[in-house]
Amino acid sequence: MVTRRSADAGSRLDDRFAFTSSIPKWLAHTGALALVLVVVATGLIYDAPFAGGADAYGYVSQAEHWANGTLHVREPLALELTGGLRVGALSPLGYRPSVDWTSMVPIFPPGYPMQMAVLQRIWGRSAVFYAVPLLGGLAVWATYLMGVRLAGPTAGLAAAVLLATSPTFLIQLMFPMSDVPVTAWWAVTLALLLSDFPGATGAAGLAAAIAVLTRPNTAPLALVPGLWLSWSAVRERSFAGLATRRAIAYAAGVAPGFAAILAVNHSFYGSATEFGQGLAAAQFDWHWAWPNLVRYPRWLVETQTPVVFVACAAPFLVGRRGADGTSRTDARSVASMWLAFTAVVYLAYLFYFPKNEWFWLRYLLPAFPALFALTGTAIVLLLLRVGRVARRILVTIIVGGLAWHGVAYSRKAAVFDHRTGDSRAAVLGCYVRARLPERAVFLSMHYSGAIRYYAGRPTLRFDDIARDGLDDAMTELRRLGYKVYFALDQPEEQTFHDRFAPDSEFGRLDWSPKVAVTGPIASMIYDPDDRQTFLGSTSTQETVGVEAPGFRCGPRLVTDDR
C-alpha cells in the first residue's frame, strides 16, 4: 500500500529535466500570451462572420434560440398550409421538423451554440462570431500549458507555436463552426489533468463534458483520460487514495455532458439516443480505411512537415516526472496517454467516407494539441545533449521553420482570403429585408436559413417540394396572400431547372432575375410575376446589382443601381 508520504515524495520533481528549458518561464508565459492575442486577433480580423449555408446558419441561429429560450421554432405559415405542400419544406438547412411536426428543431449538437449564446447575451447578436477566435486563443494557451507540464516552458511554447501556425487550425479559425471549439475543450481537459490545483481533475471532467456537448461523436475520447486515471488508481492499490479520488472527480465532471446531450436529444427528437443528423452508419465502411490511411498522414506531412512524427518518440524520451515540480504524474504515462488520445481521434475517422482536400484534416483537429505538445517535447528532449546556447538556437530554427512553413502554406492555400466568405448570403438577406414585401415566401435551399436570419421572412426548401408540385405550391402560397420568389445561387439554378422544368414553366427560369448578387458565386432572386412581362415584350423588370465586400449585415449593406 502506498502511503501519503511516499506518494508526496514520489510527486516531487525528477531533476533530470530541470535544465530542458532554454528560456525562463516568465518569458515563455509572455510569449504564449502574446501568441494567444495574435490568434484571437487573426480570427476576428480574417473571419467570415456570416450565417450562410447549413453549418454557419445552423449554429448561429441555434445560438439565438438558446439565448432567447425558443428552442422549438414555430413557423406560423405551417398552420396555414394545406394540400400537398409538406410542412417539412419549411425547415431550412440545419433544421428538421419536430416529432409532432408543429415546429422545427436544430440538427446540430447544442454545445457550441450554447457557448455562442452566452456571448450573445453579453455583447449582442454579432458576438456569436467571437466564439471561435476566443476559443482558438484558449486552445493555444491550453496547448502551451500541456507542453510546460510535460517538458518545460520551451516545449510548451513550441507546442503553442505549432498549433497557432497550423494551416488546419487557421482555416477553421475563420468560420463559425465547431472544429476549433471542440479542440479547445479537449485541450483544456488534457491540460487540467496535469494540474495540482484543488478540483482541477473535476474541472477537466467538466471540460470534457463541454467537448462532448460540442461534438458528441468525440465522446469516446473521454475514455482515454478516464482509463489513464483508473489505471493510476489501480496501481495505487487504495480505494481511498489520491488517484482514486481523481478518477471519481473526473467521472463526476464528465457525466453531466452525457446526461445533457441525451436530454436535448429527447427534447428535440423524441428519443435520447437519436441525434439530429441521424445515424451515420451509412457513412462508415471498412473499405474506406485504406484511402484514409494514406490521405490523412500525407496531408499531415504536407501541412506540418514530417517533423510532426517525432511526437511518436516523446514517450521514450521523457523522464518519469514532468518538468513542473508540482506534477504528481508519471510523464511517460502522460505522453503515452496523449499518443493514445491522438490515435483514437484518427481511428474515429479511419473508416469514414474519404475526402479529397487537405482541409478535411479538421476532423483530426481535436488531436492537434496533444500531437503538438508531444512534438515540442520531442524536439526539446532530442537536443538535451547540446549546449544551452546551441540548443536555444536550434530549437528556434526548427520551430521557427515549422511555423514559417505553416503560415506560408496557409497563404498559398488562401486561408486568409475567406473574409468575404458567404457574405452574399448576408447581402441578399439584407436586400430582402429592406426592399421586398414583408409578406413574402422564398423558395430556396442554400439561402433558406440566411433569408430567415437576416430578413425574418419564411422560406421553403425547394428540394422538399415534389417535382410536379411547384405550380401547386405557388398557387397555395398566393392563396394565403404571400408573394413568391425564388432565391438561388448559380449552381442551384441548374438543380432547380432540372427538378421543375419538365412540369412547370416557372421551373425553366427563362427570364431575368430581379436581383443579382455579384461575387465568386453569383446569387439571384427571381420574381415569377416578371416572367410573362419579360417574355411578352421588351423587359421592364429591374435587375439589381449588389456588391459583397464582406461586412456584417446592416442597413448600409443594401445598395442598388436605381
Q: What is the pLDDT of residues 14-37, one digit of tens each?
A: 333 434 556 788 889 999 999 999
Residue 206 pLDDT exceeds 80? yes
* d(C-alpha 371, C-alpha 373), whole Å: 6
288: in domain: no
pLDDT, position 24: 80
Residue 281 lies in a domain: no
Kindly list the distances between the CA atom of residue 240 and the CA atoms of 3, 223, 244, 251, 252, in Å, as whole numbers in the listed order: 11, 22, 6, 16, 16
Q: Residue 242 pLDDT more than 70?
A: yes
One domain for residues 399 and 502? no
Residue 289 lies in a domain: no
Q: Which domain holds residue 395?
A: 4-45+130-275+295-416
**Distance (Å, rounded) from C-alpha 165 to C-alpha 145?**
17
Average model confidence (pLDDT) across the chain: 85
26 and 134, same domain (yes or no):
yes
Number of domains into which the chain is organized: 3
Residues 260 and 324 in one domain: yes
The C-alpha atoms of residue 230 and residue 194 are separated, in whole angstroms, by 15
The candidate with the shortest Cα–Cα distance to 98, out of 69, 80, 78, 114, is 78
- Print burial letters for 527-544: b (CB count within 10 Å at least 16), e (below 16): bbebbeeeeeeeeeeeeb
pLDDT in tens, 427-440: 888 889 989 999 99
Say what the pLDDT of residue 83 is.
60
The b/e string for 479-509 (b: 16+ C-beta within 10 A; e otherwise) is: eeebbbbbbbbeebbeebeebbbeebebbeb
pLDDT surpasses 60 at 546: no
Same domain, 304 and 412: yes
pLDDT band at residue 541 under the 50/70/90 scheme: very low
Q: How far apart are the C-alpha atoms of 165 and 441, rounded to whole Å?
A: 45
Residue that wins the pLDDT comparison between 342 and 74: 342
Q: Are strands 459-461 and 483-489 parallel, antiparallel or unpaired?
A: unpaired
Higher pLDDT, 462 or 242: 462
The pLDDT of residue 280 is 54
How far is it, in rounded angstroms, from Cα 69 to Cα 72? 9
Residues 94 and 158 occupy one common structural domain:
no
% of the chain at pLDDT higher than 70: 87
Name, in order, each residue with C-beta under 8 angstroms of 554's C-beta and a sequence gap of 6 or more.
430
- What integer pLDDT is reported at residue 436 of this predicted model? 93
What confidence tier does 221 reach under pLDDT thresholds 50, 70, 90?
A: very high
Asked whether the predicted pLDDT for residue 343 surpasses 80, the reply is yes
Under DSSP, the state recorded for 326 is T
Look at the alpha carbons of 321, 327, 328, 334 in this order and tell me if their dihedral is positive or negative. Answer: negative
pLDDT band of 44, cuts 50, 70, 90: very high
> Judging by beta carbons within 10 Å of its beta carbon (0-12, 13-18, 19+), is residue 248 exposed, middle or buried?
middle
Q: Pick from 416, 444, 468: which residue ends a domain?
A: 416
pLDDT at 281: 53
pLDDT at 554 over 90: no
Query: Which of the four pLDDT bands, split at 50, 70 and 90, describes residue 345?
Result: very high
Which amino acid makes up residue 18?
Answer: A
340 and 473 share one domain:
no
pLDDT digits (tens, 9 = 90+) for 150-188: 989 999 999 999 999 999 999 999 999 999 999 999 999
The predicted model gives 278-303 an average pLDDT of 84
Give yes or no: residues 352 and 501 share one domain: no
Of 416, 445, 475, which marks where a domain is finished?
416
Same structural domain, 346 and 259: yes
- Kindly tell me if the per-residue pLDDT of 260 is higher than 90: yes
One domain for residues 551 and 510: yes
Query: Rounded to whole angstroms, how far apart are CA atoms 189 and 208?
Result: 6
Q: How far is CA 469 from CA 102, 476, 500, 507, 509, in A?
A: 22, 10, 8, 11, 16
DSSP 468: T
Largest CA distance in the chain: 96
Burial of 165 (0-12, 13-18, 19+ CB in 10 A): buried
Task: Choose one of 386, 416, 446: the last residue of a domain.
Answer: 416
Residue 282 lies in a domain: no
Answer whether residue 411 is part of any domain. yes
Does the residue 285 lie in any domain? no
Domain assignment present for residue 77? The answer is no
Residues 244 and 349 in one domain: yes
Q: What is the pLDDT of residue 85?
A: 63
Q: Do 159 and 257 fall within a single domain?
A: yes
pLDDT of residue 391: 84
> Is residue 79, in this structure, part of any structural domain at all?
no
pLDDT of residue 548: 39
How do residues 460-485 score in pLDDT, each as one tens digit? Answer: 999 989 999 999 999 999 999 999 99
496 and 356 co-located in one domain: no
pLDDT score, position 560: 34
Q: What is the pLDDT of residues 434-457, one digit of tens each?
A: 899 999 999 999 999 999 999 999
Pick from 68-77, 419-428, 497-506 the range whose average pLDDT is largest.
Answer: 497-506
Q: What is the distance between the alpha carbons of residues 180 and 513, in angstroms, rounded to a whole number?
A: 39
Using the predicted structure, report yes or no on whether residue 133 has a pLDDT greater than 70. Answer: yes
